Amino acid sequence: MAAASPTALERFLNGIIPENPVYRQLLGMCPVLAVTGAMKPALTMAAATAFVLICANLLISLIRGLLKPHLRILVFTMTIATFVTIADRFLAAYLYDMSKELGPYVPLIIANCLIISRCEICSSKQSVGVAFADGVGMSLGFALALASIATVREILGSGTWFGLTVLPSFWPTWGIMVLPPGAFLVLGLLLGLVEWIGHRRATST
C-alpha cells in the first residue's frame, strides 16, 4: 500500500498539469464556467477554493483514523461547509463588492466535487504532509485553469485584462464571451486544444 500511494512531491506536481482538476478530471465545473467572465473574480474564486481545499485536506487527514466508512461523505461535506462559511464571511467582511459579484458561487464551493474527490482519494488515506502538498498542487492547477479561461473571455469579451485595456479601440468586443454561452464555448474549445497538444506530444515522442 505504502509503495503504491504517491509521495508528497508527486501529489503536488500531479495536481498542476498531469491531473489538472479542470482539463483532465473535469471536476468543479460550476465555478469554472460561472466566474470566469473576468480575471479578478476568477482569481478570488481560485483563492477561496484553495483555502477551503487545503484546510479540508489537512483536517480530514488529521482525523482519518476516526472516520467510519458509511459516514465519511457526510463528515467531508460538513468539514467543507464549515470552511466555506469562514471563507464566505471573510470575503463579505473585507472584499464586499467582490463577494456581491461572486454571489451564490462562494457557498457553492461546498458542492464542488473537486474537494470531495481529493478528500476521498488522498487525504482520507495519507499523512498530513502529503495531503497538504496535494491540496496546494490541486489549487494551483485549478487557479491555472480558471486564469486561462478568464484570460480568453476577458480579452475577447471586454478587451481588457485585469481591468487594463489591452486591445485597440477599433477591435469590436465580442459580447457573447462575457455571457453564459461564451463560457461553454471557450471551455469546450480549450479542452479540445489541451487534448490536441497532449495527443501531439504523445505521438511525437
Partner 1 sequence: MDNVALLVQIFFGAALINNFVLHYFVGICPFLGVSRRIDMAFGMGCAVTFVISIAALLSWTFTYYILRPEAPLPAWFWRMAGGDPEVQIDLSVLSYIMYIFVIASSVQFVEMYVRRFFPPLYKSFGVFLPLITTNCAILFACLEIMKNLQDPTQLWGLPEALTLAVGGGVGFTLAIVLMAGIREELELCNIPKPLRGAGITLIVAGIMAMAFMGFTGVDQGIQNILNAMIE
Interface residue list for partner 1 (CB under 8 A): 26-27, 29-30, 33-34, 73-74, 77-78, 80-82, 84-85, 88-89, 104, 107-108, 110-113, 116, 176, 179-185, 187-189, 191-193, 195-196, 199
Residue 14 CB coordination number (10 Å): 19
The minimum distance between CB 97 and partner 1, in angstroms, equals 17
Cell of 7: 509521495
SS3 168: coil
Are the C-beta atoms of residues 117 and 24 closer than 8 Å to each other?
no
**How far, in Å, CA of 156 to CA of 190, rounded?**
14
Nearer to partner 1, 12 or 83 (CB): 83
CB of 9 to partner 1, least distance (A): 29
Work out how close the CB of 192 gets to partner 1 at its nearest, in angstroms, rounded to a whole number.
4
| Nine-digit cell string for 166 | 489591452
Judged by beta carbon, residue 115 or residue 133, the one nearer partner 1 is 115
Which three cell numbers, joined as nine digits, stand for 132? 497538504
In whole angstroms, the minimum distance from the beta carbon of 46 to partner 1 comes to 16
Residue number, 5 or 151, with CB nearest to partner 1: 151
Closest separation in Å from C-beta 30 to partner 1:
5
Q: Which is closer to partner 1, CB of 95 or CB of 111?
A: 111
Coil, helix or strand at residue 66: coil
Q: Give the nearer residue to partner 1 in terms of CB position, either 96 or 196.
A: 196
Q: Note the residue count of the chain.
A: 205
Q: In terms of CB distance, is 33 or 121 closer to partner 1?
A: 33
Place of cell 473571455: 153
Q: How far is the CB of 158 from partner 1 (least distance, A)?
A: 18
Please state, in angstroms and rounded to a whole number, the distance separating the CA atoms of residues 47 and 156. 24
Between the alpha carbon of residue 25 and those of residues 28, 75, 117, the distances in Å are: 9, 23, 10
